[in-house]
Structure 1
Amino acid sequence: MTTSPSNQAAAIIDAAGGPENIRAATNCMTRVRIRFVDESKVDVDALKQVPGVMTVVKVGDQYQLVMGGVVDKVRADIAALTAGSAGDRQPGDDGSSDRRAQGNPFSRLIGVFAEIVSPVIPALLASAFVKIIAVVCTEIFGVSESNSTVTILHLIADSLYYFFPAIVGWSAARKFGADIAIGLMIIGLLMNPGLAALFIDGGAPSFLGIELTEVDYWGSVLPAILSMWVLAHLERFLRSVVPAVARSIVVPFVSLLVVAPLALLVLGPLGAWGGRALVDVFQGLYDFSPILAGALIGGTWQVLIIFGMHIVLLAIVTVPNIATFGRDQVIMTHAASLFCQIAAGLAVAARAKDPEIKRTAFTLSITSLLAGNVIEPVMYGVNIKYRRPFYFVLVGGAIGGAITGAAVAGTTAPVAFSLYSIPAYMGAGFGGLVVGTIVGSAVTFALTYFVGFDESLKDSPSGDRAAA
């Protein structure tokens, strides 16, 4: 019998130690992301036993419940059943979550970035598939690129990239508990064409005698995130010292007057430099050797998915590359590894002697394939469960990524490589991507089938190692 999302939500709340122990709950495509007031009250084993929960991954102070396509309904039901504990209160409202966060600073940072980017994922997918429709119209049906309908489709899709810093800034303001309207004004200042015009013809604009740094903010999200973080902390400080009768005027006025220039003079350039440095690391590796970069990214991408780091790289590297150059050739080298997960699952189905393992592996493999290569079902339900298949996925992903990198393939949209998104990957290097996918998947299938795996792990909890 299928368990309804409301029953799943109730079971999650019970395992979490009650509704009062849930600080905030959000979701991305496949994961419900929860932060708790007191982690000692959480029964992680009980969370893993909730029907529909494939595994539980802890990143910083955030618990990620991998559940597949029902996550939005489960998250909404959690919010309803907790009567505002996780639904009405914005993450970070009380300012205490960062102080109570546990784990190393890097994992906490990744968790924060993932929480900020996750609400933007639906927009990324919507933009990508609108772009795919436009490409299909021109490449398959022969519609002219100058056709106004095609042009408008491109404009709809590209609006995401055009205003991406503002969209991420909105999410960051919600995460940190900052005033969203004031935050968008500050980000709007950074993106205002009038600001860029000040530097035309060698101009050297300044504010209060301090010279401004010329920065292109259109493809960078870190300036927006840093600005929202500072804004939230300043607002909390002001609310603690300004009399209640004057807060509605003084807090937004002073916050804007202080943070906007600070964003121009310090936070914006610092964030843009940091974002550019991260992009340059990957781009530098790719420029040195597309084959080496492809092997490294393709061979580690599935591990990055476990810890949610793939979302961060898509937001900081892939989206800016598409916004600036029209396509991403670097991070997309992971594309073949998605099919390797499915190939490993199919190999388990073909090799297994246990009929239940055969049936489960085949069903989850086809489910992931038809879901647009949302690979969590087969990854957690089969490949990680039996361990060796997951290792072979990494090998196949590295081989496929190396071939993809050698072909200089690219994508025009930040969408998973699947049966439905092929148009986004067409163009230069597409043949190499197909070859890399076939070869990587074949290697993964062969290793899984001929080397085999331990069927006695059938009754072990899926994903325990990933969550450790």
Structure 2
Amino acid sequence: MYAEFARITVDAVGGPDNIRQVTHCATRLRFQLVDPDKADRERVEQQSEAVGVIESQGQFQVIVGPTVPEAYRAVAAIPGVRTEDSEPQDAAGDGAAKPARGKGSGSWLDRLLGTISAIFTPYIPVLASVGIIQGLLAVAVKFHWLANTSDTYAILAAAGNAMIYFFPVLLAFTAARQFGANPYIGATIGAALLEPNLTAINVSGKHLDFLGIPFIGQSFSSTVLPILFGMWAFSYLERALKRILPQLTHLLLIPVFSLVVMVPAMLLVFGPIGFGIAKGVAVGYDWLLHYPLILSLLFGGFFIFVIAIGAHWLVTPLLLGILADQGKEYALAAGGMGNYAILGVLLAVLLTSKDKPTRTVAASAAFVNGVAGITEPGLYGVVIKSKRYLVAVVAGGLVGGLICGLFDVYVTAFAFSGILGAPAFLASPRAVPYFFAVACSMAVGFLCTLLLDRRSRQSEQAQTTPEPAAAEAAAR
């Protein structure tokens, strides 16, 4: 299905030799190019399968939609194209991915966003899925369909909680791989922090010591920043060990030295650094909670633009950390209002547009948005092509954010917006005002689009219809 699309796209971005690596997220093909100047953006955009193209985070991103896994497999099947799974092994045979460097890496901010995106992209859909499980369980307990003391509840709760609790293990894997280190050693370092005997003393909050060096015990479950800092340092340690140790000893001694050095370092250095920064973020967030209207309006009206440039991969992990720490989170609730405003815009375009290709894109984009909360097809395929649609999205998001702020709306589990994610939001004690905000966001987006489209058509008619005096003069 995507064979021809893949062939043209690879050729348009400069061929396999110009592709450092290609990955994908929920809706986008993400190309890391050796030389971005070789990419022919217009040629890619001319293909019907491409909803749009955005160059962000040092990447050339092709928006395909929810069928992006099929497009990715077609691209990966082209000889010479490098993917995450086809990185050449290094001398030690560990298969560790090499960090992307050189021309085309972009600014430091682009590289930072690109790195964060590559690390978190594989997990966001799973995090949303376990949020749905947690929501369904909460609803079942609330309506007395299931007792929270039953074995059934415990088993299903394990399915929903495991991803959150053991997130450091999974995060260490992709972070180590992205930083160019052995991901399996990285995952083992993360797992060591959750080892039962260590966890038993580490969660105490007491003053502990390692070889006489004091540190304060803290739980690493659900943590993000300590793992990121630790894996970044581990990548440098591993490279140093490869230079120092004889080649023959790499297979056994590199894991030994890495674990012996990094596990204590996580407890003594990177844990305190990460926890300190997280605490600072939490303090700033708590301050912003004193102004709930401002928080909800900012996220409701403008978070969609953060998604548009891909910077949500930097913000969302921080919000997930707050959710895991406090058990509830406000910005994730208000931040989804822009998604529903886009859905309202798409429904209005589907109703009023006379352009068949636009209606087709709007219909498919509205479907994936309404069902699975995937906004990129609608955002890039319809909304971003007209300023009046952007105005309608902001208006709808602001109204939804206003309602969230007025009614103190928060979520207790993370999920994408849309029908499939509804159980996670139903679990919140603020579910009623949340869904009222959703309805208002959609309604405002829909009505604003109708009004602005009508005004635009009237303006166009006024410009093309000659004045009576001018028409009479022309007739003479």
Per the normalisation by structure 1, the TM-score is 0.87
Structure 1 unpaired stretches of 5+: 456-468
DSSP 3-state at the match of 2:21: strand
**Which residue of structure 1 aligns with residue 57 of structure 2?**
60
Over 3 Å counting, the alpha-carbon distance change for 1:100 and 1:263 in structure 2 is farther
**Which residue of structure 2 aligns with residue 153 of structure 1?**
156
Do residues 89 (structure 1) and 87 (structure 2) align?
yes
2:172 and 2:186 in contact (8 A); partners too: yes
Do residues 43 (structure 1) and 40 (structure 2) align?
yes
Instruction: Show CA shifts across 1:371-392 (max 9, x none).
Output: 3221222221111112221222
DSSP 3-state at the match of 2:86: coil
DSSP 3-state at the match of 2:372: coil
2:176 and 2:231 in contact (8 A); partners too: yes
1:134 and 1:154 in contact (8 A); partners too: yes
Instruction: Show CA shifts across 1:271-315 (max 9, x none).
Output: 222233334433431x21222111001111210111222233222
Do residues 425 (structure 1) and 428 (structure 2) align?
no
Instruction: Show CA shifts across 1:366-422 (max 9, x none).
Output: 323443221222221111112221222012212211211322223333212222322
**Which residue of structure 1 aligns with residue 304 of structure 2?**
302
What is the number of equivalent residue pairs in this alignment? Answer: 449
Q: Distance in 1 between matches of 2:248 and 2:156?
A: 49
2:99 and 2:179 in contact (8 A); partners too: no
2:124 to 121, 125, 132: 121
Over 3 Å counting, the alpha-carbon distance change for 1:447 and 1:84 in structure 2 is closer
Do residues 409 (structure 1) and 406 (structure 2) align?
no
2:3 to 2, 6, 10: 6
Instruction: Show CA shifts across 1:98-137 (max 9, x none).
Output: 4545333223211111110001123223313333443454
1:300 and 1:394 in contact (8 A); partners too: yes
**Which residue of structure 2 aligns with residue 162 of structure 1?**
165
DSSP 3-state at the match of 2:53: strand
Q: Where does 1:40-439 land on structure 2 (aligned, <5 Å)?
A: 40-83=37-80, 85-86=82-83, 87-89=85-87, 95=98, 97-100=100-103, 102-139=105-142, 142-198=145-201, 203-285=206-288, 287-318=289-320, 320-352=321-353, 354-356=354-356, 359-360=359-360, 362-426=362-426, 427-439=428-440
**Which residue of structure 1 aligns with residue 447 of structure 2?**
446
Instruction: Show CA shifts across 1:202-240 (max 9, x none).
Output: 743223433213333223211112211221222123223
Q: Distance in 1 between matches of 2:339 and 2:230?
A: 35
DSSP 3-state at the match of 1:97: coil
1:24 and 1:90 in contact (8 A); partners too: no
Q: Distance in 2 between matches of 1:6 and 1:47?
A: 14
DSSP 3-state at the match of 1:177: coil
Over 3 Å counting, the alpha-carbon distance change for 1:99 and 1:278 in structure 2 is farther
Instruction: Show CA shifts across 1:162-191 (max 9, x none).
Output: 111211111112222322232122222333
Q: Distance in 1 between matches of 2:70 and 2:355?
A: 32
Q: Distance in 1 between matches of 2:281 and 2:4?
A: 42
2:132 and 2:423 in contact (8 A); partners too: no
Over 3 Å counting, the alpha-carbon distance change for 1:355 and 1:18 in structure 2 is closer
**335-344 or 405-414, larger mean C-alpha shift:** 405-414
Q: Which amino acid aligns with 1:60?
A: Q
Structure 2 unpaired stretches of 5+: 90-94, 458-476
Q: Distance in 1 between matches of 2:253 and 2:156?
A: 43
Over 3 Å counting, the alpha-carbon distance change for 1:243 and 1:60 in structure 2 is same
Deviation at 1:67? 1.0
Q: Distance in 2 between matches of 1:240 and 1:65?
A: 39
Q: Distance in 1 between matches of 2:284 and 2:30?
A: 29
Over 3 Å counting, the alpha-carbon distance change for 1:392 and 1:329 in structure 2 is same
Deviation at 1:82? 3.6
Q: Distance in 2 between matches of 1:76 and 1:331?
A: 32
**188-197 or 299-308, larger mean C-alpha shift:** 188-197
Q: Distance in 2 between matches of 1:428 and 1:136?
A: 10
Q: Distance in 1 between matches of 2:125 and 2:287?
A: 30
Q: Which amino acid aligns with 1:406?
A: L
**Which residue of structure 2 aligns with residue 460 of structure 1?**
none
Over 3 Å counting, the alpha-carbon distance change for 1:364 and 1:73 in structure 2 is closer
- Identical aligned pairs, as a percentage? 27
Q: Distance in 2 between matches of 1:337 and 1:277?
A: 28
Over 3 Å counting, the alpha-carbon distance change for 1:305 and 1:101 in structure 2 is same
Over 3 Å counting, the alpha-carbon distance change for 1:326 and 1:241 in structure 2 is same
Q: Distance in 1 between matches of 2:421 and 2:87?
A: 36
Q: Distance in 2 between matches of 1:70 and 1:194?
A: 44
Over 3 Å counting, the alpha-carbon distance change for 1:196 and 1:134 in structure 2 is closer
Q: Which amino acid aligns with 1:450?
A: L
Deviation at 1:262? 2.2
Computing the radius of gyration from Cα coordinates, the structure with the larger value is 2
1:20 and 1:82 in contact (8 A); partners too: no
1:341 and 1:379 in contact (8 A); partners too: yes
Per the normalisation by structure 2, the TM-score is 0.86
DSSP 3-state at the match of 1:63: strand
Q: Which amino acid aligns with 1:310?
A: H
Over 3 Å counting, the alpha-carbon distance change for 1:256 and 1:101 in structure 2 is farther
Over 3 Å counting, the alpha-carbon distance change for 1:307 and 1:356 in structure 2 is same
Deviation at 1:358? 6.5
**Which residue of structure 1 aligns with residue 13 of structure 2?**
16
